[in-house]
Amino acid sequence: MTSGPTSPDPSANPKWAELAAAAAAVPTIRDLLDADPGRPARSTVSAAGITLDFARQQITPQALAALIELAEKQGVFDRRTAMFAGEHINTTEDRAVLHTALRLPRGARLIVDEVDVVSEVHEVLDLMGNFAKSVRNGKWRGATGKRINAIVNIGIGGSDLGPAMAYQALRDFSKRDMGFHFVSNVDPTDLSEVLRSLDPARTLFVIASKTFSTLETMTNGRAARAWLVSALGEKAVINHFVAVSSNRELVEKFGIDSKNMFGFWDWVGGRYSMDAAIGLSTMIAIGPKAFSQLLAGFHAMDKHFETARADQNLPVIMGLLAVWNRDFLNISTNAVLPYSQYLSRFPAYLQQLTMESNGKRVRLDGTPVTYQTGAIVWGEPGTNGQHSFYQLIHQGTSPVACDIIVIAQSDNPLGDQQNMLIANALAQAAVLARGRTIDEVAADGTSKELAPHKVMPGNRPTSVISAPRLDPFTLGALIALYEHSVFVQGALWGINSFDQWGVELGKKVALGILAVIDGQADMSTVDVATAHSIEVLATQGRA
Ligand code: G6Q
């Protein structure tokens, strides 16, 4: 750990008390909207093809300005500069945090720890590009000479969620005569269900693991290898397995030719790696050209985040609104509601990005926080969610902040369906923000007894995030928007958004318990509750 990371306590800053007082007196969203017809236009900012409309957030312009001042005083913008420059801002792991370098254009210059980062990034992108092309055009063949028609990405967490989300999001840009599958769970069902429909002679496995030692990925990788070898023999492995990793030694040990390994660096965190080599399956799906458009979208949002003034800066505004909702309005959860079927895995992706990054309870210097940090993030695509959990958002007792994501144009126009989709998104945004008063309910002729049941309190802070079309560029920009919003939140809270000790512990503890279950360690090595559960599962026929 580098010495002496600074992390001033934001709640000790006089601006914090000022913001708390502002929150106590803030009008309802309905009142804010009704008092100021110019509010929607003034609360809308666009960059990199994405528009953020935060008119339905419960905040005054003065409070937003105070948040910006607090961010300035907390060193959020200096930390942003340090991140882009490759300083080791991930202090607990002594690493730079440079996912923004993954999308720097060819020819840009960034030297970090005496290494020309941009050349290295483009070297790997070129290797990936050649490989992706050869799989797509059939030059790369399986061991029996057949073309590959199925790609199976085996990875978990950051080595799965990004590629799985991006494939789903960009399906319309994908090579439709190939199948793309994502296996992550160590539950044997995950791999088995994927393999049952595949032909070994036409299947290519991408083993995606930064460390190449993650239990789930290595176990599924070995099982996939055994499946292939039993059909085609040991020699076929070289034609049917490639690796994405930063651990050459373990890749070779697995039997994968290191020529077929696509590397990345310790300055790319797992959850920030879908635009590094972890995106290999995405690149095979959409082709190298579309992948470079995806990177261009990320880069456009990076540039905007780096250079735009704070009050026009989408990630800064979104990040500060998240802090406002969490700490000053005391809202503990944020629903991400994409009105796009293509974005159906986006909430799951954001769960990792936001909760693994900002689920932290001590500041950089190790002192405990005395305020709330990362919100709980979850969601499902609209309109599906409307017919289930939206009920709680509308009338439950816990307020939920909402991000409604709308894509204006459909790639699959069908009658009036796209208009219906958009109408539903805007209807929900209106009701969440404004609610429905008892007088409005009564005006419908509803009886006195029934009326209270039909009242909606509203006042659910809602942002509408929109874009003309969901293409690779837009997806890149959208992801970068959330990445940097997460950064702003973490920097203001003074926490390290780039480590994940909770996740690491889970990996370690599971190995100890596995040793007990497999009879290689004594029951006394686990706690009494775990020992009891192991015994209960044994009586239930655990294998
Ligand atoms: C991401 C996390 C975690 C990680 C997985 C897979 O930020 O660290 O989700 O991506 O545990 O790790 P490997 O890529 O090393 O297998």
Domain co-membership, 51 together with 159: no
Residue 14 has pLDDT above 50, yes or no: yes
Average pLDDT, stretch 149-170? 98
Q: How confident is the model at residue 3 (pLDDT cuts 50, 70, 90)?
A: very low
Domain co-membership, 30 together with 168: no
214 touches ligand 1 (CB under 6 Å): yes
Mean of the per-residue pLDDT values of the chain = 96
3 in any annotated domain: no
Three-class DSSP category at 528: helix
Angstrom distance (rounded) from CA 325 to CA 58:
8
Please tell me the least confidently modeled range out of 92-106, 168-182, 341-355, 503-517: 503-517
Domain co-membership, 128 together with 245: yes
Separation of 159 CA from ligand 1 center, angstroms?
6
Which residue's alpha carbon is at the smallest distance from atom 11 of ligand 1? 157
Q: What is the DSSP letter of 146?
A: P
Which residue's alpha carbon is at the smallest distance from atom 1 of ligand 1? 270
In terms of Cβ atoms closer than 10 Å to its own Cβ (0-12, 13-18, 19+), residue 82 is middle
Domains identified in the chain, total number: 3
Closest CA relative to residue 434, chosen from 120, 51, 31, 148: 31
State residue 334's pLDDT score: 98
497 touches ligand 1 (CB under 6 Å): no
The residues assigned a catalytic role are 356, 387, 507
Each residue of 476-485: pLDDT tens digit?
999 999 999 9
Domain co-membership, 368 together with 480: yes
Candidate of 251, 500, 508 to mutate for ligand 1, largest count of ligand atoms within 8 Å of Cβ? 500
Domain co-membership, 91 together with 110: no
Listed residues 220, 255, 290: the one ending a domain: 290
E strand or H helix at 206, and its extent? strand 203-208
Angstrom distance (rounded) from CA 418 to CA 424:
10
Residue 5 has pLDDT above 90, yes or no: no
Which residue stretches of 8-75 are H helix? Answer: 14-24, 29-35, 39-42, 61-73
Beta strands in 71-170 (DSSP E): 111-112, 115-116, 150-154
Angstrom distance (rounded) from CA 478 to CA 466:
9
498 in any annotated domain: no
Separation of 242 CA from ligand 1 center, angstroms?
18
Closest CA relative to residue 146, chosen from 198, 183, 195: 198
* φ, ψ of residue 44 in degrees (nearest 5): -120, 125
State residue 6's pLDDT score: 73
145 in any annotated domain: yes
Angstrom distance (rounded) from CA 431 to CA 460:
9
Candidate of 503, 505, 507, 509 to mutate for ligand 1, largest count of ligand atoms within 8 Å of Cβ? 503
State residue 4's pLDDT score: 57
Domain co-membership, 475 together with 457: yes
State residue 542's pLDDT score: 76
Q: Look up residue 114 and give its two tokens.
A: 């005496």
**What CATH number corresponds to the domain at position 30?**
3.40.50.10490
1 in any annotated domain: no
State residue 319's pLDDT score: 99
Domain co-membership, 253 together with 363: no
Listed residues 237, 269, 290: the one ending a domain: 290
Listed residues 290, 306, 341: the one ending a domain: 290
Residue 323 has pLDDT above 70, yes or no: yes
Domain that holds residue 85: 10-95+297-493
Q: How confident is the model at residue 7 (pLDDT cuts 50, 70, 90)?
A: confident
Q: How confident is the model at residue 507 (pLDDT cuts 50, 70, 90)?
A: confident
Domain co-membership, 237 together with 132: yes
157 touches ligand 1 (CB under 6 Å): yes
Average pLDDT, stretch 65-79? 98
Average pLDDT, stretch 394-398? 97
Domain co-membership, 446 together with 316: yes
Which residue's alpha carbon is at the smallest distance from atom 8 of ligand 1? 270
Domain co-membership, 231 together with 370: no
4 in any annotated domain: no
State residue 2's pLDDT score: 45
315 in any annotated domain: yes
Each residue of 364-392: pLDDT tens digit?
999 999 999 999 999 999 999 999 999 99
Domain co-membership, 244 together with 325: no
5 in any annotated domain: no
Which residue's alpha carbon is at the smallest distance from atom 2 of ligand 1? 270
Q: How confident is the model at residue 287 (pLDDT cuts 50, 70, 90)?
A: very high
Each residue of 415-465: pLDDT tens digit?
999 999 999 999 999 999 999 999 999 999 999 999 999 999 999 999 999
State residue 517's pLDDT score: 95
159 touches ligand 1 (CB under 6 Å): yes
Domain co-membership, 485 together with 525: no
* 0.95 exceeded by pTM: yes
Residue 238 has pLDDT above 60, yes or no: yes
State residue 543's pLDDT score: 67
Which residue's alpha carbon is at the smallest distance from atom 13 of ligand 1? 209
158 in any annotated domain: yes
